[in-house]
A = this chain, B = another copy of it.
Amino acid sequence: MGSLDDTNFTSDSPILNEFKPLDPEEFRKQAYQTVDFIVDYYKNIEKYPVLSQVEPGYLRNHLPNTAPNEPEPFESILKDVQKEIIPGMTNWLSPNFFAFFPATVSTAAFMGEMLCTSFNSVGFNWLASPAATELEIVVMDWLAAMLKLPKSFMFSGSGGGVIQGTTSEAILCTLVAARDRALERIGEDNIGKLVVYGSDQTHSTFAKACKIAGILSCNVRSLHTTTDTYFSLSPTFVRATIEADVAAGFVPIYLCLTVGTTSSNAVDPIDQFADMASSHGIWLHVDAAYAGSACICPEFRHYLDGVERADSLSLSPHKWFLTYLDCCCLWVKNPSLLVRALSTNPEYLKNKPSESNSVVDYKDWQVGTGRKFRSLRLWLVLRSYGVVNLQSHIRSDVQMAKMFEGFARADPRFEIVVPRRFALVCFRLNPNADSEPSSIELMNRKLLDWVNSTGRLYMTHSIVGGVYMLRFAVGATLTEDSHVIAAWKLIKEGADALLAG
């Protein structure tokens, strides 16, 4: 490999015309090899530590300092993926991954993503990729119907949906729409008066979105939740806070509710907030990133009760709908508010369909301009599996979580910290009724470190109401009963060792 300084080209340097970056037969050959590589990785995934055991900086010393001047063979790159990259992976696809919320996958979604990539269409407006825009419209309405959302969220009604990358973008876009609606009324220079509401359990991305959107940090109300409501927002408390804010001259604009919080799967009761939101002109957003998917099952649908009175809803199929990253579905009742806040109209993108207002130009529903054909992934998942299999998939994960919960309840040394709602079990080791909180926390930290350091499973923790707890999130696509049983055995083993030591 030569060094970069060897490249003393001038404008008269020869052009190597033989360079063909996309030869179809070469593409086929390498793609087959890559598929085989991925299949091997998936077949062997249980052999790798779930949580990577490398040290910070491990990779830099193994790779050259500069890019190669000359091409390298594909085979040696694949070998390096095996030798240098996989050891540094925390394997999210492992059936023994129980951390955060799992990010789920499927054969159908992978095929959808390959097709999306292959077209490489940049669907900023309808004309730039009619199929990408129109399929997104179709699948967003399909999913809305599966969730029994009202017509007011659907293109076939008066609303509409858009695929964002992640919840962060969904919240940011709706927040900016809410902000601008208020500023149009009270004047742009009153941005300092705007207040927004969430709970201390709302995902951290809400505070970040507020910061990005220029909401003063002192005007972001992160309302306290307690164990009495299992960490869901108290409507009484929210109402009182809003009224105090209004009395003090603030302008409330946005309330972010969560269906299935990250720490403990708390659910804010949407219907109890709808009146106060509408009477104060507050944009009511429901973040159902994780648990929203469960609401395609009738027995979970009640967690969305009241959503018909919200202004927007977001749900991330990459969390529980097998779609791979990144895919966050956002429905809004009033798309024109999004468009008013986010549209651009440069000359170089002007075209007749857009000017006729007969089409959706999704660039005006999101932060960026360019966008991929993400709906293909969701379309392939919905068609390949059908609603029945997706429901079954949700139920099977919940069933495994119930099984784990049963194990923890049956062992008197453990306790369940908050009731399980979906497929997340929040528990801790607490063998002695009279232990100091700090010593219980220390014990659980040690248990978590020990378990994760084995590489045989990966769990994470959180703290709610001051209580340090372990989170066992069932849902990785390959997880089966046997993995949950083995995980519990390992956790017990850790507890045995810890209590004996």
Closest B residue to A389 by beta carbon equals B19
Q: Which of these, B10, B103, B370, contacts A122 with CB under 8 Å? A: B103
Q: Chain B's nearest CB lies how many Å from the CB of A483?
A: 14
Q: A114-B31, A120-B324 are in contact. Are A67 and B369 (CB under 8 A)?
A: no
Closest B residue to A22 by beta carbon equals B477
A67 and B368 form a contact (CB under 8 A) = no
B105 and A380 form a contact (CB under 8 A) = no
Q: Chain B's nearest CB lies how many Å from the CB of A464?
A: 9
B28 and A36 form a contact (CB under 8 A) = yes
Is A244 interfacial (CB-CB < 8 Å)? no
Report the stretch among A225-233, A307-315, A337-345, A403-411 that lies at the interface.
Answer: A337-345
Contacts of A69 in B (CB 8 A): 386-388
A67 to B10, CA, bound (A): 57
Q: Chain B's nearest CB lies how many Å from the CB of A291?
A: 15
Report the stretch among A212-220, A276-284, A415-423, A493-501 that lies at the interface.
Answer: A212-220
B169 and A22 form a contact (CB under 8 A) = no
B16 and A389 form a contact (CB under 8 A) = yes
A122 to B56, CA, bound (A): 17
Q: A23-B107, A111-B34, A387-B7 are in contact. Are A131 and B463 (CB under 8 A)?
A: no
CB contacts under 8 Å to B, within A328-346, are 341-342, 344-346
Contacts of A471 in B (CB 8 A): 348
Is A258 interfacial (CB-CB < 8 Å)? no
A19 and B396 form a contact (CB under 8 A) = yes
A344 to B203, CA, bound (A): 10
B90 and A105 form a contact (CB under 8 A) = no
A22 and B106 form a contact (CB under 8 A) = yes
Residue with the greatest number of chain B CB neighbours at <10 A, chosen from A56, A148, A205, A318 = A56
A344 and B35 form a contact (CB under 8 A) = no
A160 to B342, CA, bound (A): 30
Contacts of A88 in B (CB 8 A): 129-132, 134
Q: Chain B's nearest CB lies how many Å from the CB of A99?
A: 8
A24 to B9, CA, bound (A): 47
Closest B residue to A176 by beta carbon equals B212
A346 and B204 form a contact (CB under 8 A) = yes
Contacts of A444 in B (CB 8 A): none
A370 to B85, CA, bound (A): 19
A128 and B367 form a contact (CB under 8 A) = no
A117 and B113 form a contact (CB under 8 A) = yes
Is A192 interfacial (CB-CB < 8 Å)? yes
Q: Which of these, B54, B126, B216, contacts A130 with CB under 8 Å? A: B54
Closest B residue to A23 by beta carbon equals B107
Residue with the greatest number of chain B CB neighbours at <10 A, chosen from A25, A71, A74, A341 = A71
Is A438 interfacial (CB-CB < 8 Å)? no
Closest B residue to A381 by beta carbon equals B21
A49 to B86, CA, bound (A): 42
Q: Chain B's nearest CB lies how many Å from the CB of A351?
A: 8
A33 to B387, CA, bound (A): 24
14 cross-chain CB contacts under 8 A: A13-B297, A24-B43, A59-B130, A67-B146, A71-B385, A92-B129, A103-B122, A110-B117, A204-B344, A205-B344, A205-B368, A208-B342, A350-B461, A367-B367
